[in-house]
């Protein structure tokens, strides 16, 4: 009962009360995972090589946490794959924004080497695997999608988002609608608990796992109360991830999460507020103001929104003042007109002529 009350309180809390730290209950439908930085080819890794199998080796790129999945666990992973000989990348779930669901022990034949690698990982871990062709696409390779040459050893860069220990490995496709929504909701609640403990990366993994159960293919089939139930889990996960990303100063990613929610629910105040916050920090002042003004129209009494709009106004005023001073220093005050200099030789000459003329007139007799 306490969990229900806590969830209801989170739903009803305002933007002002929680700010960017608040966890709420709303969703959308893409699992992103942090994109690898180097997209030119397989990552260069200096860590120790671990032999998992005669045909599978592993190097850790980023450490994970917790336990490793056991046989029949349902794992959710992001990965990129290259044919080692040609460096041809033939798969990239980060770019496709769809994680792979892999049940350990029930994987496809060409995923055997990948499954051995995933079985050695912890949640949040990222690693580079070298898999021999015998445990990948085999002697024949694959001439459809993905396109893999014959006898191609494969390099996998893999991140384990998380896993469910479900006994005999019940895949998402075998679950009822209620089971999938319930599983996603439990993940979301676990993420909320981790957020309160300031374990932001771990919290985001739980939200990503929840979103993975609510993929686009699943949402497309829902309508009526089932769609409402699913959205009540999905949208909060995206907004909660945005809150984590703001604290981690990953502002572009926070904007992306809020935009997913706004594509589903254009008047979501928390999505507008958090996206406006991220845009403001990135210096995207006009876009931030637009988000905050729309949010204020929907929630005119919210002090946090008004405060952010005031901060933008003060910032713009300070920038204008600084620019005015800068331009004033560049151009300076208008110069005063200088008096024309006088040629003293000409002045003396004119005086002598005047004197000579006066004396000459005195000596000249007047006519009768």
Q: Is the pTM of this model over 0.85?
A: no
Look at 254 and 164; give whichever has higher pLDDT: 254
Which tens digit of pLDDT belongs to each residue from 74-106?
Answer: 888 999 999 999 999 999 988 877 788 888 888
At residue 61, the pLDDT reads 95
pLDDT at 325: 72
Query: Half-sphere exposure (CA, 13 Å, Cβ side) for 226?
Result: 12
**What totals of helices (H) and strands (E) does the chain contain, helices first?**
13, 7
- Percent of the chain residues topping a pLDDT of 70: 80
Band (319; pLDDT cuts 50, 70, 90): confident
Nearest to 262 by CA among 223, 298, 307: 298
Q: How far, in Å, CA of 160 to CA of 148, rounded?
A: 23
Side-chain-side CA neighbours of 280 within 13 Å: the count stands at 24
Q: For the chain, how are helix, strand and coil distributed in percent, rounded to 5?
A: 50, 15, 35
Query: End-to-end alpha-carbon separation of the chain, Å?
Result: 138
- Backbone CA torsion sign across 19, 21, 27, 33: positive
Alpha-carbon dihedral 14, 18, 21, 26, rounded to 10 degrees? -20
Phi, psi (deg, nearest 5) at residue 74: -90, 115
pLDDT of 193 higher than 80: yes
Mean pLDDT across the stretch 121-129?
93
Q: Which residue has the higher pLDDT, 20 or 363?
A: 363
Tens-place pLDDT, residues 130-146? 999 999 999 999 988 88
Q: How far are the Cα atoms of 265, 286, 297, 308 from residue 290, in angstroms, in the given order?
A: 16, 6, 11, 12
Tell me which of 348 and 265 has the higher pLDDT: 265
Is it the case that residue 124 has pLDDT exceeding 70? Answer: yes
Tell me the percentage of the chain whose pLDDT exceeds 90. 48
């Amino acid at each position: 009962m306490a969990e229900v009350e806590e969830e209801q309180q989170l739903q009803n809390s305002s933007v002002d009360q929680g700010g960017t730290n608040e966890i709420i209950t709303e969703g959308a439908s893409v699992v992103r995972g942090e994109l690898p930085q180097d997209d030119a080819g397989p990552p260069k890794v200096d860590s120790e090589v671990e032999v998992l199998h005669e045909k599978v080796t592993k190097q850790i790129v980023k450490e994970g946490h917790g336990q490793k999945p056991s046989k029949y666990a349902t794992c959710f992973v992001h990965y990129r794959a290259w044919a080692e000989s040609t460096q041809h990348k033939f798969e990239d779930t980060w770019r496709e924004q769809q994680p792979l669901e892999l049940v350990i022990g029930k994987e496809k034949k060409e995923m055997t080497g990948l499954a051995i690698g995933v079985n050695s990982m912890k949640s949040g871990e990222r690693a580079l695997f070298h898999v021999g062709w015998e445990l990948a696409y085999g002697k024949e390779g694959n001439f459809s999608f993905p396109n893999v040459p014959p006898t191609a050893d494969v390099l996998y860069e893999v991140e384990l988002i998380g896993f469910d220990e479900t006994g005999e490995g019940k895949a998402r496709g075998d679950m009822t609608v209620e089971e999938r929504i319930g599983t996603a909701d439990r993940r979301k609640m676990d993420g909320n608990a981790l957020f309160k403990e300031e374990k932001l990366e771990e919290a985001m993994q739980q939200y990503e796992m929840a979103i993975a159960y609510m993929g686009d293919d699943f949402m497309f089939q829902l309508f009526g109360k089932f769609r409402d139930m699913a959205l009540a889990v999905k949208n909060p996960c995206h907004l909660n991830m945005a809150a984590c990303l703001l604290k981690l100063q990953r502002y572009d990613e926070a904007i992306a999460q809020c935009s997913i929610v706004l594509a589903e629910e254009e008047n979501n105040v928390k999505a507008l507020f958090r996206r406006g916050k991220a845009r403001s920090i990135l210096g995207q002042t006009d876009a931030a103001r637009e988000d905050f003004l729309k949010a204020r129209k929907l929630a005119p009494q919210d002090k946090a929104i008004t405060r952010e709009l005031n901060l933008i106004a003060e910032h713009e005023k300070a920038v204008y003042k600084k620019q005015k001073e800068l331009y004033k220093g560049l151009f300076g005050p208008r110069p005063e007109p200088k008096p024309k200099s006088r040629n003293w030789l000409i002045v003396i000459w004119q005086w002598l002529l005047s004197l000579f003329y006066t004396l000459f007139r005195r000596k000249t007799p007047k006519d009768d």
